Amino acid sequence: MKKEISLSELGELMAEGPAGQEKIKKQQQAITNLQEALMLMVKRRRPYEVPIKGTDNVIKFGVIGDTQIGSLYQRTDALTAFYERCEDEGVKYILHAGDVLDGWRVYRGQEFELDPNAKSWPEQRQMFVDIMPRTKDITTIFITGNHDSSFKKLVGMIVGEELALVRPDWKFIGQDIGEQVFKTESGLKFTTQLLHPGGGTAYAVSYQPQKIIESIAGGQKPDLIVIGHYHKSFYMPAYRNVTAILPGTFQSQTPFMIQHSLAAHIGGWIVTVTLNERKKLTSRIQAEWIGFFEEQR
């Protein structure tokens, strides 16, 4: 299909009636798909840069994932408490590794695990606006995951961009994958990659992070990779010169997870990185897990 239609061709297609209009519609969709692909390429080639104030080369940020807003099993109490803890400790940025929303019909029967007030895109979007914690100084940098993409499959939208429009304190950097760089005033950089892969949890929690890091081409490794999707908490300080974090979740075990013997580690991380003055040498990484237990019945 051609990338563009001339004015004369457009007139001819309009004259063809419904058949011509269908050709125009397909052409518009092809252009939209191309624009989306190019946008994602640009996002991946140009990491989102975050300037860090201060002269001590210390970077502090939160790490979360799989908030699943709209689920009957969402833990907004724990999510709010985590944001409050981050605010109390001076955290300015929180990284989110995807599945902001719970989506629609991600797997068979998933629609029955949704809150009665969140069974559509407009309802889950509004619940995100209303429920997601608001703080004065915290910006959340996020990617979208497979649950978010269920709406994309239904109506073709870029869900992350739509969420960022309704919450300006949320910065969207990619679908399934995104990179961002913390840059200190002295010019030192700390690169983080957010990833939301597919597949199920392996028997050993460390297995997937290891295989993912092994698949990264030489020269493209981030300093830190945050891997969502698995609803587990895990910290690996160094594997092939990469630090890995599984961010946990803010969704309790669903019937689907119980059926498949999948645990849910509820909580998030606060990470403090101290960069050495020598280029690309990280001298110290501290990762603190902020966990939440299930409410007693």
- pLDDT, one tens digit per residue, over 228-254 is 999 999 999 999 989 999 999 999 998
Angle at which helices 7-15 and 18-45 cross, to 10°: 140
Q: Residue 146: name the closest of 251, 261, 229, 232 by CA.
A: 229
Task: Please state, for a pLDDT cut of 70, what percent of the chain lies above it.
Answer: 81
Specify whether 142 is located in the same domain as 229.
yes
| 213 vs 86: CA distance, rounded Å | 28
Tell whether pTM > 0.85. Answer: no
Residue 296 lies in a domain: no
Total domains, the chain? 2
Specify whether 34 is located in the same domain as 53.
no
pLDDT of residue 46: 73
pLDDT tens sequence across 85-103: 999 999 999 999 999 999 9
| 269 vs 63: CA distance, rounded Å | 5
Specify whether 158 is located in the same domain as 40.
no
Say which residue, 9 or 118, is predicted with more confidence.
Answer: 118
Residue 297 lies in a domain: no
Residue 251 lies in a domain: yes
Specify whether 168 is located in the same domain as 230.
yes
Q: pLDDT band for 1, please (50, 70, 90 cuts).
A: very low
Specify whether 18 is located in the same domain as 82.
no
Specify whether 92 is located in the same domain as 79.
yes
Q: Which of 20-34, 40-54, 101-115, 201-215 has the highest average model confidence (pLDDT)?
A: 101-115
Judge whether 192 and 179 are in contact, CB under 8 Å.
yes
pLDDT tens sequence across 179-192: 999 999 888 899 99
Specify whether 4 is located in the same domain as 115.
no
Domain of residue 24 covers 1-46
Does 284 score more than 60 pLDDT? yes
Specify whether 30 is located in the same domain as 151.
no
Specify whether 221 is located in the same domain as 286.
yes
Specify whether 58 is located in the same domain as 37.
no
pLDDT of residue 296: 59
Specify whether 17 is located in the same domain as 54.
no
pLDDT tens sequence across 56-86: 889 999 999 999 999 999 999 999 999 999 9
* Residue 166 belongs to domain with CATH number: 3.60.21
Judge whether 97 and 66 are in contact, CB under 8 Å.
yes
pLDDT of residue 42: 46
Residue 67 lies in a domain: yes
